[in-house]
Amino acid sequence: MVAFDFEGQPAFLDEGGHLLPGARTPDPEFALRLYRQMLLARRLDIRCVNLQRQGRIGTYPPGAGQEGVQIGAAMAMAEADWLFPTYRDGAAAAARGQPLDSLVRYWMGHPRGGIAPEGVNVFPFSIPVGSHIPHAAGMAWAARLRGDPACAVCLFGDGATSEGDFHEGLNFAAVMGAPAVFVCENNGYAISVPLSRQTASARIAAKAEGYGIPGLTVDGNDVLAVHAAVADALGRARAGHGPTLVEALTYRLGPHTTSDDPTRYRSADEESAARAREPLARLATYLAAAGLLSDEDRERAEAEADARIEQAVQAALGSEPPDPADMTAFTVAAEATEAKGGKAHA
Ligand SMILES: Cc1ncc(C[n+]2csc(CCOP(=O)(O)OP(=O)(O)O)c2C)c(N)n1
């Protein structure tokens, strides 16, 4: 039995990390996998901020605090499904199998960074806000036309819901019955713009009604709840019942990017209240109370994550410097690039 404690949607852990009354006890192995993946993402995030401060990364958009949504959604996907992430979704990309060194290389500005290897179905990060939403709708529709069982899972922020691409993507996917799950990471801000200036809707999920698709709101800091909601939506999509809009309420603990100062628009009280609800500590508290994570287990998991991160960072830092011709390789027609003596890539 799943508890329905969060506005009618499945919920597992309360803000303090206690299993809610009536909630199904999570499978211990799976809960630990979620924890390790969230821990890895959190520690990689901290390392990337440090690399930026050392001048080795130009700019970086921290994802700390949003791992519950990203890992919950990514771990609900089948291998054949495609993830459409934004710049803040490194945790989801890593959980889908994108190599960590490719993520670090991406933020170092290396043109060979951010490319998912064959078989890892992750689209490149969308830096333009919302432009990947129609891409996800199109990919899902194409899969359906081909009889391919792959679904699309598209992550985006609350700010993206004000873009035309959001309307076009959701409307198109709904009309075509495309097997897509649209997951809004509602962290309450688009840079400094609060949700109240983004939409007059009480809930982002309410917008689904206008497209004739299911829309639901979950606690994005309850990784188990996000996982259950996205798994359910993917089940519907795979069964031919079209797309779903999942709004996951969360909070970004850090700045918008390393060039932002959130103290200009968020109060210290708001930040500390959000920190008390954050998803990683919440899951760790639950696991410890359930006897699944001792202090030694946690230290070992942290050391394992750090070793993987260190290896990825060293590989990224040791990359061959980019070829200056790469600047135009993917943006200028092949003949024009070759005429200038540059490299052309198909
Ligand atoms: C089309 C477009 N307009 C403006 C920007 C500049 N910009 C970058 S991030 C951002 C805010 C996005 O907020 P949200 O969608 O809520 O995602 P979050 O950054 O909170 O994860 C803006 C306006 C952009 N990248 N693309």
The alpha carbon of 160 and the centre of ligand 1 are apart by a number of angstroms equal to 7
Phi-psi region of 248 (alpha: psi -120 to 50; beta: other; left: phi over 0): beta
Q: Is 165 in the pocket of ligand 1 (CB under 6 A)?
A: no
The alpha carbon of 128 and the centre of ligand 1 are apart by a number of angstroms equal to 7
Q: Is 159 in the pocket of ligand 1 (CB under 6 A)?
A: yes
Q: Is 256 in the pocket of ligand 1 (CB under 6 A)?
A: yes
For 157-208, write each residue's pLDDT tens digit: 999 999 999 999 999 999 999 999 999 999 999 999 999 999 999 999 999 9
pLDDT attached to residue 325? 83
pLDDT attached to residue 335? 62
3-state secondary structure of 259: coil
For 219-241, write each residue's pLDDT tens digit: 999 999 999 999 999 999 999 99
pLDDT at 2 over 80: no
Average pLDDT score over the chain: 94
% of the chain with per-residue pLDDT over 90: 88
Cα–Cα distance measured from residue 43 to residue 106, given in angstroms and rounded to the nearest whole number: 17
* Cβ–Cβ < 8 Å for 104, 146: no
Residue 279 in tokens: 């998803």
Average pLDDT over residues 51-55: 98
pLDDT at 4 over 70: no
pLDDT attached to residue 50? 98
pLDDT at 342 over 60: no
Beta strands in 61-161 (DSSP E): 82-84, 152-157
Cα–Cα distance measured from residue 313 to residue 48, given in angstroms and rounded to the nearest whole number: 9
Atom of ligand 1 nearest to the CA of 163: 1
Residue 299 in tokens: 């230290």
Find the angle CA(65)-CA(282)-CA(235) to the nearest 5 degrees: 80
Cβ burial, residue 312 (10 Å; 0-12/13-18/19+): buried
Q: Rounded to a whole number, what is the distance in angstroms from the first to the last CA of the chain?
A: 52
Reported as a pLDDT band with limits 50, 70 and 90, residue 1 is: very low
| DSSP codes, 286-332 | HHHHTTS--HHHHHHHHHHHHHHHHHHHHHHHTSPPPPTTHHHHTTS
Look at the domain 27-339 and name its fold: Rossmann fold (3.40.50)
Nearest CA to ligand 1 atom 11: 190
Nearest CA to ligand 1 atom 8: 129
List all residues 6 or more positions away from 123 whose beta carbon is below 8 Å from its beta carbon: 82, 83, 84, 85, 116, 132, 135, 136
Closest CA to 39 of 220, 299, 226, 335: 299
pTM for the full predicted model:
0.94
Average pLDDT over residues 112-140: 96
Atom of ligand 1 nearest to the CA of 158: 16
Q: Is 70 in the pocket of ligand 1 (CB under 6 A)?
A: no
Residue type, 201: S
List the chain domain ranges: 27-339
List all residues 6 or more positions away from 161 whose beta carbon is below 8 Å from its beta carbon: 130, 184, 198, 199, 204, 207
Q: Is 166 in the pocket of ligand 1 (CB under 6 A)?
A: no
pLDDT attached to residue 324? 86
Strands 215-219 and 244-249: parallel
pLDDT attached to residue 326? 79
Highest mean pLDDT among 249-263, 310-324, 331-345: 249-263
* Cβ–Cβ < 8 Å for 195, 248: no
Atom of ligand 1 nearest to the CA of 186: 16
**Out of 144, 252, 266, 277, which one is annotated catalytic?**
252
The alpha carbon of 61 and the centre of ligand 1 are apart by a number of angstroms equal to 11
Cα–Cα distance measured from residue 14 to residue 317, given in angstroms and rounded to the nearest whole number: 41
List all residues 6 or more positions away from 101 whose beta carbon is below 8 Å from its beta carbon: 311, 312, 313, 315, 316
Average pLDDT over residues 282-287: 98
pLDDT at 275 over 70: yes
Cα–Cα distance measured from residue 312 to residue 40, given in angstroms and rounded to the nearest whole number: 12
Work out whether the CA dihedral 277, 278, 279, 283 comes out positive or negative: negative
